[in-house]
């Protein structure tokens, strides 16, 4: 079958139309936006989805991603307030919130953001000393984020966060800082050791004090207990003597029993360590009566007594109550 020229032309035109249609159908991915221009003028911003543009009249001027992005600035020299040069690099987190402003606001917004962050960082660090810059990362990050966010609003960029990545002082400054840090740590170690020794001495002294107090209290309690025991013993002895006397009195003891008790008392007195004993008159009379009773009854050995000295007879009342000397009793009277 031979096609005519007109049929071939129609087929070619249909194919061209289909090609034009398919080439002008645009699918915008998620988290992306396309800027559409018609005859070189901004027409619309395409969101995610399917769109069709007019052939030969409209074009896609820019494809923009609205996801959060990261800009890592290279290290740059920064001079502090006390004339110390440091190398600092920062990381900027941002996202595009307006594709039209991002497309027409600056020729290269990302390059502009990198240079703006560098100059703003120099201005902030220039008003701080070295120590302040090293210890004020949070302040620097917050201040830098605030300034960059305001400055990039005309570009359709939202700066969400800025973090200082590295702060590198010169080598001689770093060595001096390391020596200072070591000295500070040595000082803290010395203070801690001194505090520990002090606490140990105080604790030991308090322990010794408590031990002495407890020992004194124990000695006091022991003395009190011994004194109470001795007092109780004396009390019981006196009560026993009183009970014995009461028993003898209630039993109706005669004179002989009482004389015997007196004699036993005299024996106990003679067993002591005293070299002299004062014998009362009634005790002397009791001894004499006991001796007379023993000699009359024939009890024990009867020995001849020495002649009584002149002027002192056996029953002379003048000798009663005076000292009596017996053979063998050199130390007793």
First CA to last CA distance, the chain = 181
User: Is-contact 20 86, C-beta < 8 A?
Assistant: no
- Domain 69-169 annotated CATH 3.40.50.300: no
**Average confidence (pLDDT) over 237-242:** 81
What pLDDT band is residue 47 in, cutting at 50, 70 and 90?
very high
Sign of the CA dihedral 279, 283, 284, 287?
A: negative
Strand partners, 79: 85
Residue range 139-182, pLDDT digits in tens: 999 999 999 999 999 999 999 999 998 888 888 888 888 888 88
Task: Please compute the mean of the pLDDT values over residues 240-252 and round it to a whole number.
Answer: 74
Q: Where are the domains of the chain?
A: 11-65, 69-169, 172-221, 259-300+316-333
Strands 41-46 and 32-38: antiparallel
Of 321, 332, 327, residue with least CA distance to 288: 321
**Which of 218, 200, 190, 128 is CA-nearest to residue 164?**
128
Which stretch of DSSP H or E encloses residue 112? helix 109-126
**Percent of the chain whose pLDDT exceeds 90:** 35
Q: How confident is the model over 238-261, as a mean pLDDT?
A: 70
Q: Enumerate residues 6+ apart whose C-beta is below 8 A from 285.
A: 320
**Which of 32, 56, 72 lies closest to 165 in space, CA to CA?**
72
């Amino acid at each position: 079958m031979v096609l005519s020229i007109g049929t071939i032309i129609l087929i070619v035109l249909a194919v061209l139309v289909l090609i034009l249609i398919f080439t002008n159908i645009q699918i915008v991915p998620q988290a992306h936006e396309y800027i559409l221009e018609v005859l070189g003028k901004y027409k619309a911003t395409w969101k995610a989805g399917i769109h069709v543009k007019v052939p030969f009249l409209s074009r896609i001027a820019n494809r923009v991603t609205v996801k959060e992005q990261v800009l890592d600035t290279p290290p740059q020299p920064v001079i502090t307030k006390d004339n110390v040069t440091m190398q600092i690099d920062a990381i900027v987190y941002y996202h595009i919130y307006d594709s039209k402003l991002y497309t027409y606001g600056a020729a290269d917004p990302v390059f502009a953001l990198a240079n703006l962050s560098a100059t703003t960082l120099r201005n902030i660090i220039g008003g701080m000393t070295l120590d302040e810059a090293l210890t004020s990362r949070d302040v620097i990050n917050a201040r830098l984020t605030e300034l960059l966010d305001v400055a990039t609003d005309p570009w359709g960029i939202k700066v969400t966060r800025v973090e200082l990545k590295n702060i590198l002082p010169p080598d001689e400054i770093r060595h001096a800082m390391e020596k200072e840090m070591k000295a500070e740590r040595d000082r803290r170690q010395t203070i801690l050791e001194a505090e520990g020794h002090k606490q140990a001495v105080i604790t030991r002294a308090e322990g010794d004090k408590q031990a002495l107090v407890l020992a004194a209290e124990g000695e006091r309690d022991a003395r009190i207990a011994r004194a109470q025991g001795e007092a109780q013993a004396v009390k019981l002895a006196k009560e026993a003597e009183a009970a014995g006397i009461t028993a003898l009195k209630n039993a109706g003891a005669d004179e002989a029993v009482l004389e015997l008790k007196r004699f036993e008392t005299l024996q106990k007195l003679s067993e002591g360590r005293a070299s002299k004993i004062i014998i009362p008159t009634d005790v002397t009379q009791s001894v004499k009566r006991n001796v007379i009773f023993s000699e009359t009854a024939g009890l024990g050995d009867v020995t001849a007594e020495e002649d009584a000295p002149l002027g002192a007879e056996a029953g002379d009342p003048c000798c009663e109550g005076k000292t009596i000397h017996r053979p063998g009793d050199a130390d007793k009277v």
